Amino acid sequence: MVDRFTGVLAPVSTPFKQDLSPDTERLVALCRWLLNEGADGLAVFGTTSEANSIGMADRMRLTEALVEAGAPAAKLLPGTGTCALSDTVALTKHAVELGCGGVLVLPPFYYKNPSDDGLYASFAETIERVGDSRLQLYLYHFPQMAGVGIPLAVIERLVAAYPDTIAGLKDSSGDWANTEAVIKTFPSMHVFPSSEARVVDALKIGGAGCISASANINARAIRALIDVWDKPEGEALNRSVTAVRKVIEGYHAVAAVKAILAEFSGDPAWNILAPPLAPLSEPQRAALVASLKDLGYSLSLRTA
């Protein structure tokens, strides 16, 4: 069995060209830089990646391109959950066959208030149809965005039925009580809150790290925090990492990450978002950058 993910993972921002097609070269460059910055994994095709705005064919093509460009497949955790079982199975199978270290799977999110049986069946059918012992499936719980969450009762059934496959969970709910309950109830799972502002709280009780939008632009500091959180220097680092995060939380996170990548890499192409999302307004962008500069924030990324 592959090692399960730990540490800091970036839900990698997806660059688009002017024609709104994904920009493979810039994506490869960002992924390379993130690993070099200390990211422990690349959660490509998450919410921050605008994954659901990218078509099926492009998602597969980009994952292949990353592996071909030398990204270690074991470090890739692509999002593969869609509304349709057959599409979820196709993306998941494709990721497993490429050797990806895991997949991060949203529940089918069109039909709201599904029954526990229906949700369980969605994940169980995916696992059965992929039918590959290499599959490491991380559940993606984000009820506010998806409109459908993954209740503890469903996780319990999945862990009982597929203990070797259900590898972990990303909790984007921001509901600490839920994160805590998942960590404590399912010790075999690697659980990641979606913010580094909670990573120390999670590590203290057995959490695995964090998968955070802002890891796109602060991976090195977050990685350092995970190394030293329980040492004397941990407290100050936690404060500074959290301060950057809190600035970003004042904006639409997906657009804010792209604005920061554009500003600090000097590459304005990062400011393109796929509809229905849109870049920050110019006043928002300027205020965001000013706030980060006030914190002494900088990065040294070149993607173009």
Known active-site residue 112: no
Which tokens go with 157? 């059934």
* Residues 6+ away with beta carbon under 8 Å from 131: none
Least separation in angstroms between CB 65 and a second copy: 16
Count the site residues for a second copy by CB under 8 A. 41
Smaller CB separation from a second copy, 275 or 283:
275
Q: How far is CA 126 from CA 62, 82, 109, 111, 121, in A?
A: 22, 11, 15, 17, 8
**Can you tell me the distance from the alpha carbon of 168 to that of 11, in angstroms, rounded to the nearest whole number?**
15
Catalytic-labelled residue, pool 48, 82, 126, 138 = 138
84 binds a second copy (CB under 8 A): yes
Rounded to the nearest whole angstrom, what is the least distance from the CB of residue 173 to a second copy in the complex? 14
Query: Would residue 138 show up in a list of annotated catalytic residues for this protein?
Result: yes
Q: Is 293 a catalytic residue?
A: no
Instruction: Determine which one of 92, 170, 179, 242 is catalytic.
Output: 170
213 to 252, contacts with a second copy by CB under 8 A? none
* Residue span binding a second copy (CB under 8 A) among the ranges 181-189, 225-233, 243-251, 269-277: 269-277
User: Applying CB under 8 A, which of residues 42, 43, 66, 90 lies at the interface with a second copy?
Assistant: 90
Question: Does the active-site annotation cover 80?
Answer: no
- For position 65 contacting a second copy by CB under 8 A, the verdict is no
The residue (of 36 and 86) whose beta carbon lies closer to a second copy is 86
112 is a contact residue toward a second copy (CB under 8 A): yes
Residue the block writes with tokens 């006030």: 294
Contact between 115 and a second copy (CB under 8 A)? Answer: yes
**DSSP alpha helix (H) spans, 142-281:** 143-146, 152-161, 176-185, 199-204, 215-228, 234-248, 253-265
At position 54, the amino acid (one-letter code) is I
The verdict on 111 binding a second copy (CB under 8 A) reads yes
Residue of the chain from 61, 65, 73, 114 that contacts a second copy (CB under 8 A): 114
Sites of contact with a second copy (CB under 8 A): 20-21, 47, 52-58, 83-87, 90, 107-112, 114-115, 117-119, 121-122, 125, 144-148, 254, 274-278
Q: Which residues are catalytic?
A: 47, 110, 138, 170
